[in-house]
Structure 1
Amino acid sequence: MNNPQPRSGYTLPVFACAAAIAALNHLHNIKSNQTVSLELIEPPEMANIPIQQVAKINENTALGITISEPGDNLDLTRNTPIWAIVEIVKNSQTDEQIIIKGGEGIGKQINNDQKDAIYSYAKKLLFYNLKQHLNPEESIQVTIILPEGRKLAKRTSNEAFGVVEGLSLLGTNGISQPLSAPSQLEVYKQQLKEKAKQFNTLVFCLGENGLDLAQKSGINSQQLIKTANWLGPLLVTAGLEKVQSILLFGYHGKLIKLAGGIFHTHHHLADGRREILVAHGAKIGLSTPILQKLFTCETTEDGLQILRKLDQETGTNWTEKIYQSLAETIDQRTQDYIRKYLDFEGKIGSVLFGRDRQIIITSKTGKILLNSESIRQN
């Protein structure tokens, strides 16, 4: 029996653009269709996006609504409504024909003057497609709204990377690839096998931010492995390929799961970050009132800030002690995980960084690997 190929979908910018086109067409009194066609640019193909609703707010303003469909992907934005409010601007004070703004649920970039978290591909997509529907002398303002954006953002690591109050319109193309599907794991395994032929030490990076920070730390980019959420199977693959050392390099809100024995890090499958942090606080001897505070935190980053504030106010080093305990446990449990499946005598080290993109802690073995010439850029 053949397994069906995982189904791809579209990224959030595509649905935002479709909603904006639907709203603009409505203002132009173009008969509403159930779908909108748009050019994805990347890749160079057309997409037909269903329109949920469209209506005028007033003579010059209309609202279009689409629903996110990311395909066969474990994506928290599935079935999320995306709104686009399009206003025809009379007597515009600017030469720009199209102005794009983020409304409710679109994140703000705290490291970039609080600018809306609407990135280059999303802007390119909106400008290109909307311009084709505009009259030559017409100017519009487009406001993208994600009504559930604030709530959903609490379940992501956005805040760790400088985006607050909502989600990002992110991505470099319009296709949402099923990265959590088994076929993508096979791609990652093959990449790992190729690199294992060249290097005895590999650096596992959880996500794009881990990749970026690892390279900025002077690690040879050829030894970096992007794992997505497939840490467990990729660790076993590395063991099978006789990799001698593995450095885990990731955001603490992801890597902390390994200290609890969770080796598929997608939140849809397992969590427990808060409980793991509290357990290590209790192990080190943190007081009950602070443990209770940690337990009520919405994010691991919030817990880190509580510990740092405590250290600052009391002259203690709870943050270092607790995170050192976490890092050493991550190393040990990762070795144990690989040894469940095969004989493995290699070294495991870990590096955990925070929202400020600064390293919080490095395990003892992690320090040895991080300072080793075997992973440094030539």
Structure 2
Amino acid sequence: MTQREQQPDGKMRYGWTTGACATAATTAAYTALLSGEFPDPVMITLPRGQTPSFALTKHERVDEQTARATITKDAGDDPDVTHGALVTSTVTLIGGDAVVFAAGEGVGIVTKPGLPVAVGEPAINPVPRKMMCDHVAEIARRLGHPGGVRVEVSIEHGADLAQHTWNPRLGIVGGLSVLGTTGIVVPYSCSAWIDSIRRGVDVARATGVTHVGAATGTTSEATVRALYGLDEGAMLDMGDFAGAVLKYVKGHPVPRLTVAGGFAKMSKLAAGHLDLHSGRSSINLDFVATFVEDEALAVQIAAANSALHAWEIARDHGVPLADRVAAAALEKCRSVLGNVQVEVDIVVINRAGDIIGRAK
């Protein structure tokens, strides 16, 4: 875990999305084309009415028709992979009043259905597109231009950064997505992760995937893929967000869902926790002990040093504790899904990736 991934103590600083940065850069470049001056700092209006200002990192008037401006993304105290990235908008005047978007270096292209942007389009999401269009329209009205522009957004090193995101799995090739629904990055809200889970379900449904795997980590993902022969595109990087998966699948059903993870996290799910993060839920060994009929053994399990130790004690006494935890986790999944017709199974693994419990 890197330093930026460690949640700091005390009040945390908010940041700005790539969509907000692209909007600020577009606003500065288009204003310069019509007025001859780059506003620096450049102020924009976010979807909820906030009006932040952004300092320009670079700006250039290429010719009479084209200008570009660059903003350095500040993600605040959030461990955002794009923190410090250079977001550039190159704006070119064209005929008419339409805003045409293009993917520059480091911005991906959508290649699979199911995403909020059509196949073949730059991976610039609807809210950032609307923000840029709204700002272009306001500048055009104020400075007397029809408003027809080509907006090319690029993100320095975006292709490399995208390898640390879900984009390759979602079929977004060549770079990052330009994201943001509010323009603001809330530290450790994990909104981008949860949104990626949802987009993964959407893409699976749109591409005809009938069996989706949701895993807490790379080891459990590898186990599920090998067990069922699933392609990478069928896997959801669930992490600790079991509730995000289940609630979204409830509204967007898939025929079959496998939920997989280690014994500790699956015991949390069995106990009713939908957020499996260690900082937001804890392992209840007294609860785990209720799956053991022998009172003396149950006392040992309740007093174990860890969930793994509890499982080892049960294993040494021939008690299929992981299977029983899996069955309880399956019951919790079914309670969240309600009457939605999704076939669910649970796979519990040890640290080596061996299957130690199952329920289906």
Residue in 1 aligned with 2:286? 343
- Whole-Å separation in 2 of the counterparts to 1:258 and 1:130: 47
Aligned residue among 158, 161, 170 for 2:179: 170
- Whole-Å separation in 1 of the counterparts to 2:187 and 2:333: 36
1:60 shift after superposition:
1.1
Cα 1:372/1:13, change in 2 over 3 Å: closer
- Whole-Å separation in 1 of the counterparts to 2:77 and 2:93: 37
Cα 1:373/1:35, change in 2 over 3 Å: closer
Say whether residues 1:100 and 2:101 are aligned partners.
yes
> Aligned partner of 1:164: which letter?
V
Residue in 2 aligned with 1:330? 262
Residue in 2 aligned with 1:142? 151
SS at match of 1:343: helix
Cα 1:53/1:340, change in 2 over 3 Å: same
- Whole-Å separation in 1 of the counterparts to 2:89 and 2:334: 51
Residue in 1 aligned with 2:195? 208
> Aligned partner of 2:61: which letter?
K
Residue in 2 aligned with 1:179? 188
Aligned residue among 15, 21, 36 for 2:42: 36
> Aligned partner of 1:330: which letter?
G
Residue in 2 aligned with 1:86? 91
Residue in 2 aligned with 1:156? 165
Residue in 2 aligned with 1:377? 339
SS at match of 2:59: strand
- Whole-Å separation in 2 of the counterparts to 1:167 and 1:32: 26
> Aligned partner of 2:158: which letter?
G
Say whether residues 1:49 and 2:65 are aligned partners.
no
Question: Percent identity between the aligned chains?
Answer: 20
> Aligned partner of 1:335: which letter?
S
Say whether residues 1:62 and 2:67 are aligned partners.
yes
1:22 shift after superposition:
1.4
Aligned residue among 15, 32, 38 for 1:9: 15
> Aligned partner of 2:42: which letter?
V
Instruction: Give a deviation string over 1:295-339, Cα, whole Å, max 9, x none.
Output: xxxxx94999xxxxxxxxxxxxxxxxxxxxx97663466439988
Instruction: Give a deviation string over 1:209-265, Cα, whole Å, max 9, x none.
Output: 545778999xxxxxxxxxxxxxxxxxxxxxxxxxxxxxxx9644xx23474xxxxxx
SS at match of 2:165: coil
Cα 1:67/1:25, change in 2 over 3 Å: same
- Whole-Å separation in 1 of the counterparts to 2:156 and 2:173: 15
1:84 shift after superposition:
0.6
Residue in 2 aligned with 1:201? none
> Aligned partner of 1:69: which letter?
D
Residues 187-198 of structure 1 correspond to what in structure 2 (within 5 A)?
none
1:178 shift after superposition:
0.7
Cα 1:207/1:366, change in 2 over 3 Å: farther
> Aligned partner of 1:377: which letter?
N
- Whole-Å separation in 2 of the counterparts to 1:327 and 1:373: 14
Quick check: 2:214–2:260 contact (8 Å CA) kept in 1?
no
- Whole-Å separation in 2 of the counterparts to 1:113 and 1:214: 17
Aligned residue among 123, 126, 130 for 2:132: 126
TM-score (norm 1): 0.54
Quick check: 2:267–2:329 contact (8 Å CA) kept in 1?
no
Instruction: Give a deviation string over 1:98-146, Cα, whole Å, max 9, x none.
Output: 2222222111221242221111101110011121212233521111111
Say whether residues 1:256 and 2:217 are aligned partners.
yes
1:23 shift after superposition:
1.3
> Aligned partner of 1:147: which letter?
E
Structure 1 stretch 139-148 or stretch 22-31: which is displaced more? 22-31
1:73 shift after superposition:
0.3
Cα 1:374/1:327, change in 2 over 3 Å: closer
SS at match of 2:83: coil
Residues 289-368 of structure 1 correspond to what in structure 2 (within 5 A)?
301=232, 330-331=262-263, 334-335=266-267, 342-345=285-288, 365=327, 368=330
Aligned residue among 112, 117, 126 for 2:123: 117
> Aligned partner of 2:123: which letter?
A
Quick check: 1:98–1:139 contact (8 Å CA) kept in 2?
yes
SS at match of 1:84: strand
- Whole-Å separation in 1 of the counterparts to 2:125 and 2:334: 36
- Whole-Å separation in 1 of the counterparts to 2:201 and 2:90: 40
Say whether residues 1:73 and 2:78 are aligned partners.
yes
Structure 2: tracts of 5 or more residues without a match: 1-8, 205-211, 236-257, 269-277, 292-306, 308-324, 341-360
Quick check: 1:210–1:251 contact (8 Å CA) kept in 2?
no
- Whole-Å separation in 2 of the counterparts to 1:66 and 1:216: 31
Quick check: 1:96–1:139 contact (8 Å CA) kept in 2?
yes
SS at match of 2:139: coil
Cα 1:29/1:56, change in 2 over 3 Å: same
